[in-house]
Chain A
Amino acid sequence: GESVGLHLPTLSVQEGDNSIINCAYSNSASDYFIWYKQESGKGPQFIIDIRSNMDKRQGQRVTVLLNKTVKHLSLQIAATQPGDSAVYFCAEPWFPIKAAGNKLTFGGGTRVLVKP
């Protein structure tokens, strides 16, 4: 999901179901992507990353898929739990990434609401 101003895309999920959050990126030369989770009142936390030489990467209950052909990322959360309720951002490097520092461009985010 990308930002549409004040209306943050929202995904409602039943506890125990799987969640899929989507993200489109713009720069075909991007070679690294990160997913962040932001809980209410807190700063973003790193979840998982993936480099462009991979199509899939798995973490604990999370999987990131990368489709470079259509410039699309997805984050899959298995067996969604109440603690997964948060806003999820994808981030891509803001070129020139290797010039100095790590400058990331963040998508607008998707809010995940877990229903008990």
Chain B
Amino acid sequence: NAGVTQTPKFQVLKTGQSMTLQCAQDMNHNSMYWYRQDPGMGLRLIYYSASEGTTDKGEVPNGYNVSRLNKREFSLRLESAAPSQTSVYFCASSALDRGLVTNEKLFFGSGTQLSVL
């Protein structure tokens, strides 16, 4: 059981280049998320998808786009990379329990380290 899988693990881009970070989960979770983590700082939410077919902006969405391709996959795209987007990117998923107790645990992938020169 792989959990949340992200690719690639490392990437170096030049300013202005584009790329897509891939994420897939095999836990049949409804919700998926993209976070960025900068040195010494906490995780900041970029975009999330509460269910297949929906996406919403998080705290820091500028410069990014996302696609919830199906229930398993949620990709993050940088159309024109900037040095300010140098960061570690984490994908996460959660099973939103619609019963009396909401399951709010997030399961994270191992991250993508992105450098924009």
Q: Is the CB of A93 within 8 A of B109?
A: no
Chief secondary structure at chain B's binding surface: loop
Q: Is the CB of B40 within 8 A of A101?
A: no
Q: Is the CB of A44 within 8 A of B41?
A: no
Tell me which of A5, A42, A45 contacts B40 (CB under 8 A). Answer: A5
Interface size of B by CB at 8 A reads 32
Interface size of A by CB at 8 A reads 30
List A contacts of B48 (CB < 8 A): 101, 103
Chain A, range 1-41, C-beta contacts under 8 Å to B = 3-8, 32, 34, 41
Q: Is the CB of B49 within 8 A of A5?
A: no
Chief secondary structure at chain A's binding surface: loop
Q: Is B107 an interface residue (CB 8 A)?
A: yes
Chain A, range 40-74, C-beta contacts under 8 Å to B = 41-46, 49
Segment at the interface with A among B11-19, B50-58, B76-84: B50-58
Q: Which residues of B contact A (CB under 8 A)?
A: 4, 30-31, 33, 39-45, 48-51, 54, 56, 58-59, 90, 92, 94, 96, 102, 104-111
Q: Which residues of A contact B (CB under 8 A)?
A: 3-8, 32, 34, 41-46, 49, 89, 93-94, 97-98, 100-109
